[in-house]
Amino acid sequence: MSKKLAGYGAAGLALLLLSLVVSLSIGSVHLPVKQIGAMLLQKIPGLGNSIATVWEPSAEQIIMKVRLPRIVLGMLVGASLAVAGAAFQGVLRNPLADPFTLGVASGSSLGAAVLIFYGLQYSFAGAWTLPLVAFLTGAITLLIVLALSRENGKIPTHGLILAGVVMQSFLGAVVSFLTIMSRDTLNDILFWTMGSLSMRGWTYIAVLLPYLTAGFVYLWSRSRALNLLSLGERQASHMGLNVDRLKWSVLVVATLLTAAAVSVSGVIGFVGLVVPHMIRLITGSDYRIIIPLSALGGAVFMVWSDTAARTLLSPGEIPIGVVTAFIGAPFFAYLLYRSRKQRREGRL
Amino acid sequence: MITIQHVSKYYDDHPALQDLSWHVKAGEWWGIIGPNGSGKSTLLQLLSGVEAPTSGRVELEGRNIRTFGRKELARKIAVLQQEGLPQTNFTVREVLEMGRYPFQNWRGREQRDPGPFLDSIMDKLELRELQHRPVDLLSGGQRQRAALGKVMAQEPSLLLLDEPTTYLDIRYQLQFMNMVASWRKETGITVISVLHDLNLASQFCDKLLLLHENQSAGEGSPAQMLTEENLRDIFRVDTSIVPHPCNGLPQVLLVRQ
């Protein structure tokens, strides 16, 4: 297991670094990859003095102040959503589960939409008002969904998924209503619900990073338990797993991680659904491997989606949620086709 | 080993088990027999500690079973269900390692390396060559052996079997039961098995508990329990009981109406 993880992990990290450097060079001002490599290496303490500055100060400004924070934030958001998605799929044992299954995204969207509708985005905590409110409304939604589906202290999986779907459609309807009612020509609510990574900066990274670190460590530490759960709830409990406690804790942690990601970037779909499936197709069903590789895969997927989002219609931007769905949906269709084919061949 | 006192279990208002008292001594092999819906599986669920009785008490080694932690309980009791393992692409060896879960710390480590122990289990169960094969590519008999290997890796002192031979052909039924018997001989483990096959029950179990309409209908040796009257009362079928030519144990022949 650890050898397999080390192999895939090294390949994933290399791909991530490569994506980072290449994506940094792409944009309205093209900068050579070689310069960017040197620029990044110069920032490493102890190594910096040995590298000469051969580029314009403006180039460094573009990289350090604009592109790098955006790309790094994208990586963190992608990693958060993909890890949360893997955890949701594991604990709900449902291939269609994703980080938004329990209605978190709709809850956050509603909070954001209400603020934008009444023009309160900067009301009490400056630029942080919207992320804060989005996080809180997302977390409250989770609590309501859990309360709705709870039955004699247990959480039946089907009830949970149904409660999440009901919540999603209801809150989604409210958000649509607010979107229609707001008169702005450039509809901020619509743009928020489709996600964006522009104009965020390093502070957003500092906010999301602790959530990702803590959430990732916790979910990875539960990966053996998720493996046991894949044999069935009853069998897992006979093997010493407290199934209900596992469900509660994993759902809460994965949801908070999702809410944190959504609050800084808006709703970015498909990453959390598709990336864990890609990883599963490549490596098998061991969550000890799926969770860390989903983090890497989510980061890479997001770097390329965001690069496409900010360059394809330059100087305009495509909402990143549109790009991820554009790539994610065909892939998902392929997955459905594949599983149907397997079933026909009698393997499922 | 395990004692149950006046245990009843209701699902909503529907009784699944009524006022059952029973005592199992360490090292015994019990068979639970009775028709469908007589409460056999409910009884096994209560014994495994996963479900709480509506009234009464289940005691494991003199202590209320509900006071055990889940991992603590899994080090004492292992359960093998009729479907054994689901379709999964974990390999045989990985599944056996999962059986070690109750002994692992949060990082998945144990005090001693479980490798040689898992090897010895696979040797006993003829799984060594299959150890790196995914479970969903195994035949029914192989898969049930892997499931047995997983519960052996759990090193329990009590094994609960829930109709473990249901999906096996006669060769693998006998092989499976023989493997459990030799495991029991080596380790002195206590076995409680729900069995549909009365002839297997007669040959492998020391004692039988009869369940009928969610209540006990008697307990005793196979010779005492497997009688034509008992079977007529419980299953409503006519049978002829004959002694097995090799070991003299009672064997059940069905009589066509």
Alpha-carbon distances of B228 from A330, B100, B254, rounded to whole Å: 65, 44, 10
Residue A183 has pLDDT above 90, yes or no: no
Pairwise CA distance, residues A57 & A62, whole Å: 9
Q: Which residues from B are below 8 Å from A228, CB to CB?
A: 98, 101
Contact in structure between B145 and B130 (CB atoms under 8 Å): no
Amino acid at B252: V
Residue B63 has pLDDT above 50, yes or no: yes
**Mean pLDDT, residues A118-137:** 80
Residue A118's pLDDT band, with cuts at 50, 70 and 90, is: confident
Domain regions of chain B by residue span: 1-76+156-220, 89-153
Residue A319's pLDDT band, with cuts at 50, 70 and 90, is: confident
pLDDT value, residue A48: 66
**Mean pLDDT, residues B85-101:** 91
pLDDT value, residue A225: 95
Residue A278's pLDDT band, with cuts at 50, 70 and 90, is: confident
This prediction's pTM? 0.88
Domain regions of chain A by residue span: 29-61, 79-344
Residue A321 has pLDDT above 50, yes or no: yes
Query: In this structure, how many other beta carbons lie within 10 angstroms of the beta carbon of residue A51?
Result: 15
Residue in chain A lying closest to B109 (CA): A224
Residue A342's pLDDT band, with cuts at 50, 70 and 90, is: low
**Mean pLDDT, residues A172-187:** 80
pLDDT value, residue A185: 54
Contact in structure between B141 and B175 (CB atoms under 8 Å): yes
Residue of B88, B98, B107 lying closest to A285 (CB–CB): B88
One-letter-per-residue 3-state SS of chain B: CEEEEEEEEEECCEEEEEEEEEEECCCCEEEEECCCCCCHHHHHHHHHCCCCCCEEEEEECCEEHHHCCHHHHHCCEEEECCCCCCCCCCEHHHHHHHCCHHHCCCCCCCCCCCHHHHHHHHHHCCCHHHCCCEHHHCCHHHHHHHHHHHHHHCCCCEEEEECCCCCCCHHHHHHHHHHHHHHHHHHCCEEEEECCCHHHHHHHCCEEEEEECCEEEEEECHHHHCCHHHHHHHHCCCEEEEECCCCCCEEEEECCC
Interface of B with A in 79-108 (CB under 8 A): 79, 81, 85-90, 94-95, 98-99, 101-102, 104, 106-108
Residue B8 tokens read as 């009843």
Reported as a single tens digit per residue, the pLDDT across B148-171 is: 999 999 999 999 999 888 888 999
pLDDT value, residue A151: 79
Interface of A with B in 63-102 (CB under 8 A): none
Reported as a single tens digit per residue, the pLDDT across B31-50 is: 999 998 888 989 999 999 88
Residue A120 has pLDDT above 60, yes or no: yes
Mean residue pLDDT across chain A: 86
Q: Which residues from A are below 8 Å from B77, CB to CB?
A: 238
Residue of A228, A237, A284 lying closest to B98 (CB–CB): A228
Pairwise CA distance, residues A11 & A6, whole Å: 9
Cross-strand pairs, B31: B193, B208
pLDDT value, residue A186: 60
Candidate CATH numbers 3.30.450.40, 3.40.50.300, 3.40.630.10, 3.40.50.670; the one for domain B1-76+156-220: 3.40.50.300
Pairwise CA distance, residues B145 & B155, whole Å: 16
Residue A348's pLDDT band, with cuts at 50, 70 and 90, is: very low
Residue B249 has pLDDT above 50, yes or no: yes
Q: What are phi and psi of B154, to 5 degrees?
A: -75, -10
| Residue labelled with tokens 């829930």 | B162
Pairwise CA distance, residues B57 & B64, whole Å: 7
Interface of B with A in 37-66 (CB under 8 A): 48, 50
- Tell me which architecture the domain covering A79-344 has in CATH: Orthogonal Bundle (1.10)
**A239, A241, A243, A282: best mutation site toward chain B, by most B Cβ within 10 Å?**
A239
pLDDT value, residue B226: 92
For the ranges A104-108, A184-188, B114-118, the lowest mean pLDDT is seen at A184-188
Mean residue pLDDT across chain B: 91
pLDDT value, residue A330: 84
